[in-house]
């Protein structure tokens, strides 16, 4: 099956979602009397012997509410390094070709009472074709009602497609967003899914619709949580907790994050790959 038209359809959605999210975040900055806006830096991938390796655009904003937020989109194609291909669904050293398109977002907030957040969705083809993604909330100072609201939005998105999705993907998220070396979760969870395979038009449409609804759920709930907490007073102790938490976040993304590893192994743009790292952090 020729998956290229499907890759382009997914790419169009990811770029549209990027535009909607960035507009929503810039509006929050306007409400905080800030003129901060996203800057967009295109980049091109290079691979020897590949005339069309693709690339992407890094979107970055540093403002009054969002200390650092990156919203990246990319569409890349080529061949996995042979030693890495064995780790990828449907790829092997004899069939290392791939295409990948997706959106990746990480927001680090200035106010410790506003949760940091991650969201990523993607479509990949190797010897197989599949969707993956997820979102998780990462508050330095957790609030039970924020956690419940975030999970309720994801639960609704999942249940609309399959009554088993939320429990299954929440459990996967709990297992994935975890730092084994510290024996702690990096936040209050969310969902994580991968290898949602497509064999034909109906399965692609079904999985694409679910992936779109994950993005819509994020866009619906996260700005509400930001507005709820962004004017909260905070103490030096609160900020110290924020910076220590960010250290944990950096550890996860540098050691365990699949997206970081994928980008580095496939010759992606270093600045875009590492945009998830916080602007400030501390280690005790």
Catalytic center residues: 118
What residues have CB less than 8 Å from 175, skipping those under 6 apart? none
The strand ranges marked E within the chain are 39-44, 54-61, 66-79, 97-109, 116-125, 129-138, 178-179, 184-185, 189-197
DSSP state of 115: P
Rounded CA separation 117/150 (Å): 10
Rounded CA separation 226/117 (Å): 10
**Nearest to residue 121, comparing CAs of 268, 18, 253?**
18
Rounded CA separation 175/164 (Å): 17
Compute CA distances 246 → 189, 240, 253, whole Å.
16, 10, 11
CB 65 within 8 A of CB 51: no
CB 106 within 8 A of CB 116: yes
């Amino acid at each position: 099956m020729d998956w290229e038209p499907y890759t382009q359809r997914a790419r169009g959605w990811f770029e549209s979602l990027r535009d909607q999210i960035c507009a929503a975040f810039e509006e929050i900055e306007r409400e905080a009397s800030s003129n901060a806006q996203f800057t967009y830096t295109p980049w091109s991938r290079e691979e020897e012997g590949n005339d069309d390796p693709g690339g992407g655009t890094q979107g970055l904003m540093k403002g009054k509410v969002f200390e650092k937020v990156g919203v990246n989109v990319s569409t890349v194609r080529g061949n996995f390094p042979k030693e890495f291909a064995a780790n990828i669904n449907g790829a092997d050293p004899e069939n290392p070709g791939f295409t990948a398109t997706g959106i990746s977002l990480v927001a680090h907030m200035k106010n410790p009472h506003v949760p940091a957040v991650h969201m990523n969705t993607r479509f990949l083809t190797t010897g197989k074709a599949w969707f993956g993604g997820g979102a998780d909330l990462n508050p330095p100072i957790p609030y039970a009602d924020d956690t419940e609201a975030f999970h309720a939005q994801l639960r609704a998105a999942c249940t609309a497609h399959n009554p088993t999705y939320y429990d299954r993907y929440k459990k996967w998220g709990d297992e994935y967003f975890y730092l084994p070396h510290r024996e702690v979760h990096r936040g209050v969870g969310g969902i994580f899914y991968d290898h949602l395979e497509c064999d034909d038009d109906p399965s692609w449409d079904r999985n694409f619709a679910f992936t779109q609804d994950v993005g819509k759920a994020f866009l619906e709930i996260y700005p509400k949580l930001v507005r709820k907490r962004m004017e909260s007073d905070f103490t030096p102790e609160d900020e110290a907790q924020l910076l220590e938490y960010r250290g944990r976040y950096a550890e996860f993304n540098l050691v365990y994050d699949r997206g970081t590893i994928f980008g580095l192994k496939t010759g992606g743009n270093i600045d875009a790959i590492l945009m998830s790292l916080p602007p400030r952090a501390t280690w005790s």
